[in-house]
A and B are shown apart, each in its own frame.
Chain A
Amino acid sequence: MKQSRFLAVFAALVYAFLHVPLLILCAFSFNSSRFTVWEGFSLAWYRAMFGDAQLGEAAWNSLVIALASTVLATAIGTLCAYGLWKRGSKWLSGSLYLSLVTPEIVTGISLLAFFQWVFRYLQIQLGMHTVILAHVAFSIAYVLLVVMARLRTAEPALEDAALDLGANEWQAFRLVTLPMLQPGIIAAALLAFTVSFDDYVITSLVAGVDSETLPMVLYAMARRGANPVVSAISAVIFLGFGALILLSERMQKR
């Protein structure tokens, strides 16, 4: 009895440590004062947020990049997972997971070096396309992880059964494997979208002048000192992505 009460208190403390800062952030985004002293309720910072052209552009960039890289990474990652499932290779799947544990700064610098090396010959500049490519590169591993998890619980004989009943290889994939994987693919896409939208380190290294993303602008604003507009944006992003992640979890459980 005593032990369970202790556990309850401990759990409460852990949750408080995790979530109280976010609650404070949300609360102060509605504060009429610029400083961390409560003066009264106000939507001024949200109005300022929606009126800021630079923020709008950055948010648009982030959205375009996240959508484009999600579509590409989900398609490539799903096919990778399927290929590794059909013809498993420890080395190949291991090296794909490697990108998950590579520090972002290393990934970013190596991608930058790669782009500079390639672009010397192709006369292309850093910009949206390099950011999208970089995001595809690091999102594939997340997609792979989620889709592989789904495949691991799948029955190996399913495609055989489809072939046996008269489906050719393409029909077996399209009519049986793909629908079976669908919840996993959706969950993977949501995750890829989140990690793309969220990324700062790699993006800031490979972005050009026209491809500033929301995290980059936010970072710059926050560095210039406390700004409740930053809190307001953060609150919006937090709520949006909280919903996305919950959705992704539910998809994976299906």
Chain B
Amino acid sequence: MENALELKTLYKSFPSHTVVDGISLDVPKGCFYSLLGPSGCGKTTILRMIAGFAEPDAGEIVLNGRRLNGLRPYERPVTTVFQSYALFPHLTAAENIAFGLQRRGESAAHIAPKVNRMLELVGLQEKAGRLPANLSGGEKQRTALARALVVEPELLLLDEPLSALDPALRKRVRIELKQLQQRLGITFLFITHDQEEALSLSGQIAVMNKGKIEQIGTPKEIYLAPATRFVAGFLGAVNWVDGIGVRPESTRISRTAPANGAKAVQAEVDSSTFLGDCFHIQTHTADGTAVTAQVPHSDEPYAIGDRVHVWWHTSDELPVRE
């Protein structure tokens, strides 16, 4: 597949430390690509360098074959959905959306239908005349998205655009965002620290830590076959037993030792947590290692202090290399 964006060994340092430490990655055309990592891992700095708000110390940024280094933000065919939305407070939703088209010198006759189509696409026709102060969080988010999409960028950057929404709304907007991307076919580069967001939205994910890329892959690859301990732990809970990682949902529990050739360890129950759709039973083994097992409601209840066996199939072990 052809690449839209190519980052070639990017470096960026601030006086106190190196924020981006030799990042290379290829974003295929039309892909929903996520940069996933904890805060301070350098993902926002990468986004700022692609948008043109910061210049890399070394390395190249290439978009559809064109080198972007040194170009001003307004010379780059890239737009951004900011974490805070950054809507212009003195302009209505429709005027905010029209801003980019006006800057490109399009005539009012061309702008109006494009703005209307965009308002319709994000379901904001009714709110077109409102100032940002009179829009809800979700409406602001959709205005910011429409404003960035209407100029048909070659690449859309999204800087944690869902983090300011409340959890229930966030899940709904997530689905809308994915559907929108699939409909428009525009390449999305999505920055997030939320692994669930990245897993559910992305075609590909690059997991970052401390300015470096830990692993690049599809959500399934990254979740089921994490390359490093960091990736395994960042994407979900892991039980580490004698250097082997296994996720709680693959970990079983029983009173008697399993006879099916699975790997088993003796443990003692510490606590039990009801999570709605299942239970998590926290245990510890003889050497004090904590192991959590996920069990269905139908399982017999376990009490604190119960002696049990925790076990898993070796095929469920995470193939972590380091």
Q: A179-B90, A180-B90 are in contact. Are A165 and B82 (CB under 8 A)?
A: no
B54–chain A nearest beta-carbon distance, Å: 11
Report the Cα distance A165→B87, complex, angstroms: 12
Of B5-13, B35-43, B73-81, B305-313, the one touching chain A: B73-81
Report the Cα distance A157→B151, complex, angstroms: 19
Size of interface on A: residues with Cβ below 8 Å to B: 18
The answer to whether the Cβ of A195 comes within 8 Å of any Cβ in the partner chain is no
B72 neighbours in A (Cβ, 8 Å):
163, 168
B86 neighbours in A (Cβ, 8 Å):
155, 157-158, 160-161
Q: Which of A81-134 contact B (CB under 8 A)?
A: none
Kindly identify which residue among A158, A164, A166, A179 contacts B51, using a CB–CB cutoff of 8 Å. Answer: A164
The answer to whether the Cβ of A171 comes within 8 Å of any Cβ in the partner chain is yes
Main secondary structure of the interface of A (DSSP, over half): helix
Chain A 176-202 against B: per-residue CB contact (8 Å), 1 yes, 0 no? 100110100000000000000000000
B44–chain A nearest beta-carbon distance, Å: 12
Do A163 and B84 touch (CB < 8 A)? no
The answer to whether the Cβ of A162 comes within 8 Å of any Cβ in the partner chain is yes
Q: A161-B82, A165-B79, A166-B74 are in contact. Are A176 and B100 (CB under 8 A)?
A: no
Chain A 146-170 against B: per-residue CB contact (8 Å), 1 yes, 0 no? 0000000001011011111111100
B82 neighbours in A (Cβ, 8 Å):
157, 160-161
When C-beta atoms are compared, the residue in chain B nearest to A181 turns out to be: B90
When C-beta atoms are compared, the residue in chain B nearest to A168 turns out to be: B74
The answer to whether the Cβ of B104 comes within 8 Å of any Cβ in the partner chain is yes
B135–chain A nearest beta-carbon distance, Å: 14
Kindly identify which residue among A157, A160, A165, A182 contacts B99, using a CB–CB cutoff of 8 Å. Answer: A165
B84–chain A nearest beta-carbon distance, Å: 6
Kindly identify which residue among B79, B103, B147 contacts A171, using a CB–CB cutoff of 8 Å. Answer: B103
Q: A155-B84, A157-B82 are in contact. Are A165 and B100 (CB under 8 A)?
A: yes
Q: A160-B53, A160-B73, A160-B82 are in contact. Are A166 and B103 (CB under 8 A)?
A: yes
Size of interface on B: residues with Cβ below 8 Å to A: 23
B198–chain A nearest beta-carbon distance, Å: 23
A252–chain B nearest beta-carbon distance, Å: 15
When C-beta atoms are compared, the residue in chain B nearest to A166 turns out to be: B103
Q: Once A and B bind, how many residue pairs between them come within 8 Å at the CB atom?
A: 62
Report the Cα distance A158→B144, complex, angstroms: 12
A168 neighbours in B (Cβ, 8 Å):
72, 74
A175 neighbours in B (Cβ, 8 Å):
99
Do B88 and A157 touch (CB < 8 A)? no
Q: A166-B104, A166-B151 are in contact. Are A161 and B74 (CB under 8 A)?
A: no
Do B103 and A180 touch (CB < 8 A)? no
Report the Cα distance A187→B143, complex, angstroms: 30
When C-beta atoms are compared, the residue in chain B nearest to A171 turns out to be: B103
Chain B 46-75 against A: per-residue CB contact (8 Å), 1 yes, 0 no? 000001110000000000000000001110
B78 neighbours in A (Cβ, 8 Å):
164
**A157, A166, A182 — most chain B CB neighbours (10 Å):** A166
A162–chain B nearest beta-carbon distance, Å: 7
A179 neighbours in B (Cβ, 8 Å):
88, 90
A157 neighbours in B (Cβ, 8 Å):
82, 84, 86
Do B80 and A161 touch (CB < 8 A)? yes
Report the Cα distance A164→B88, complex, angstroms: 13
Q: A155-B84, A160-B53, A171-B103 are in contact. Are A165 and B151 (CB under 8 A)?
A: yes
B156–chain A nearest beta-carbon distance, Å: 11
B90 neighbours in A (Cβ, 8 Å):
179-180, 182
Report the Cα distance A166→B151, complex, angstroms: 9
The answer to whether the Cβ of B89 comes within 8 Å of any Cβ in the partner chain is yes
Kindly identify which residue among A166, A171, A180, A182 contacts B88, using a CB–CB cutoff of 8 Å. Answer: A180
When C-beta atoms are compared, the residue in chain A nearest to B159 turns out to be: A157
A158 neighbours in B (Cβ, 8 Å):
86, 88-89
B25–chain A nearest beta-carbon distance, Å: 21
Report the Cα distance A173→B118, complex, angstroms: 26
A155 neighbours in B (Cβ, 8 Å):
84, 86, 89
Q: Which of B141-166 contact A (CB under 8 A)?
A: 147-148, 151
Do B73 and A164 touch (CB < 8 A)? yes
When C-beta atoms are compared, the residue in chain B nearest to A182 turns out to be: B90
A196–chain B nearest beta-carbon distance, Å: 28
Do A165 and B84 touch (CB < 8 A)? no
When C-beta atoms are compared, the residue in chain B nearest to A163 turns out to be: B73
Do A165 and B53 touch (CB < 8 A)? no
Report the Cα distance A179→B88, complex, angstroms: 9
B130–chain A nearest beta-carbon distance, Å: 16
Please list 9 pairs of residues, one from A and one from B, whose beta carbons are closer than 8 Å in the complex, sorted by A's number: A157-B82, A158-B88, A160-B53, A163-B72, A164-B80, A165-B148, A166-B151, A167-B74, A179-B88
Mark A residues whose CB is within 8 Å of B. Answer: 155, 157-158, 160-168, 171, 175-176, 179-180, 182
Beyond contacts A160-B51, A166-B100, A166-B151: 9 other A-B pairs, Cβ-Cβ < 8 A, are A157-B82, A160-B73, A160-B80, A161-B82, A161-B87, A164-B78, A167-B74, A167-B99, A171-B103
Kindly list the 7 A-B residue pairs having the minimum CB-CB distance in the complex, ordered from nearest: A166-B103, A165-B100, A161-B86, A157-B86, A163-B73, A179-B90, A166-B74
